[in-house]
Structure 1
């Protein structure tokens, strides 16, 4: 469906950008019944909403010059666009600048972290549209640098996010300062009660629009759920980056500390990575984004807030290093890729013990993901072989200069052709970061996590036909003689064996060794992880399979087959006395 009738200058701008037909949200806001009305629009990131409200408010800005598609001379702003973050506000300025350039439009920005004096000069020079963050825009209004009296339209972009970030007071101060007859357009991914209340207070007879096919922007996104062992997130991120090998990748973490840690680890492993978090200055954020856009960096590690509004070219992969807390965040993160008709991948790293949580999250977001273990080192080496072979063939197909041919013939005269080819392959492989070895994770959801029969808290799930609490026993070469204590042994076993506390059963500390129980479904995973060399200070502790304490296999040992009465036993993180293992007390004579 083509665009409806538009002013000639806007039509020319859209043609120059290759816009052949409107997106669903653009069609909705340009429908005849929306003319001159306040709008409350539900639209997800990546749906084309910036161009949508840019076109929707054109009649308000152009006034009598709409037929010719010309704006009046720049002076006091005619429209305000309020966005939650600096990056989004600057992106809005860029989008509206090319859209209104043929009409003679001037668009300014006012955002935190930039020079307010330069912004004041830009406002004084005259502008048609001002895009900014709530705090800085309110500050310019209160200081008299931005006159709100001539504003004909105001747009609240990602209104729900602004309320979540605590900008209600700033928004209300700005809206209260604007003329009562202005037009108010609110765009929000969702419309919870606070947004509905804000719309009721500041909009007049608003037309509610739920953009048809608002999930259509995710049709070009392939969702992948990658199962990993607990405590292997950073290794899994490395392997995901190597396996998918996207031109640009955005990796999401929840906290600034996690961003800093992961960014440092990726840089240490040889990835060209930058970080975005709230603690960075505006100049640092601009340098990071510039590095991504000019190709000096290929990976950006960011928090949700810092990544708001980022639009990166060739962003082919989004990695959720930490699961988002709600479906809206999942969709917003994933919507950074799969834009403008390009394909993208959204990969969720899911610890096997959090699979149920991830399944509920995906179901709430109404997206389907394919489940598989995270790519291992062998998977990446196989992919590398394909890519390097293709790259070598491409190089061999390029017409060579005479000087290069002469050098090539000289090399072949000295070395065998396969040795020269192997040297080329080695050269092409050299810049690639080494893949990580990951613990094996089964795709099957454990019975207990699938909502199976209820089991005793702290005890490992039972095998089919086995008594509850029966698990697989292991031992380590440390006992009371080495100050073994369940209080530090339990977290050590979880870390070393990539299991959770719920998957560790009884722990029995004896004189020279400690025996402990692992849930049957996790035993093979635990054994594989425990066999891997450890690089920490506990590397001297050896773990190997064992028989239950007191079993027939202990017969003939010098140590007693049954632990002493005061030997520690651990169930589900709480020490208790195993009375079945204590010697029977003599019965009192009556």
Structure 2
């Protein structure tokens, strides 16, 4: 399979694609990009979600002149698609200061007027609003060199045929025309005959997508809430082995770092890693040293891990086929699996496309509350208690109970022990990140975050011993210590904080290397 560098794209664009984590072109990109760069007309039949936006957007960005006049016009059937395409072009043109104006109904027109008055190179919009600006004289198309009809069949189904023809007639005859459509009904064929010249035809066969026997659910959240939502879901689901998918390498790195900072046993896998690094990550994941694997699609190809209990789409894939490949990582060998997808309100349409293409029903779920998380922790505590009872070896503790039962009822003793053990869990209910409570820190002390906790069998004496032995700080100088399920906080004198931070990072506690950072104050 060719790489992006073999398709004729410029070095600046290749750098942007590298930064975005794009590894290989999709079939539509492989065929359409060289044709678009050659200035030929294009008729492409491809399903939504096959990567067609990049197929026309990358050549447009590469061929733009620096002059701030409309040079490319992209027509889309809906405001959601128009916004997505505009964002993609802006992203691909990073570094060149590409000016893009999304133009659609439902948005105050004065914003669009201001953008058009300042001068734009690419206009993306719905036919009705584009015509509105043309009639106002605020959008002139006499220097348009490329016109793209995105999802042409859907635009015609929505009754935009006359609008499209009116717009095309106002553009220069020597323009490049590219038409992308999932189907080719007669109405689309008529547009092709009237408004394209010697067009190159591209057809990407739609595959029959089959979903595995995996329960599929989704949660709708705002973009800024995704990380906290993911952590709540993880705390309720408590997966023993889960793959979390991100679109790009940079997003995978950022999410992996955030999860590690919050105390989750996670590793990251993507195409920028050496084979030795990949092997080391996979060994830790297969052996259960890491519960979560944050990965990109390319990095996860060919992985054979039969015991994955959960697949989580942190980012919605742009390709229905990629969705099916992702969720196929769970529910193998007769086992049950759960596929969870996080979507933002603007991604509902993509989810509907995935449902249609995969012929599956993805059920909406309500995001777990903090009370749900606390209840799940108590349930996990009960499960752990039953496991200890089954294992036996309780003689020393039975002796302690017998001694104390002379003064207290055995049921009261058990309740007191539960309260003592669960106290940390109850305190942890309000903590949703690595943030500490700056208001509660003693004067002259600095609060530090450690990515080890009760699940790692960490006790206060372990933290005190590590600081005392490795840093040489006396136990009396150490302030309060709070230990939660997956992380801990410790207070040390301000003047010693950087020294503790530097020396303690990488020190092993209970067989696990510790990461230490300054606890951020709650906002």
Which bracket does the TM-score occupy, shorter chain normalised? 0.3 to 0.5
Work out which of the two has the higher radius of gyration on C-alpha atoms and give 1 or 2: 1
- The structure where helix makes up a greater share of residues is 2
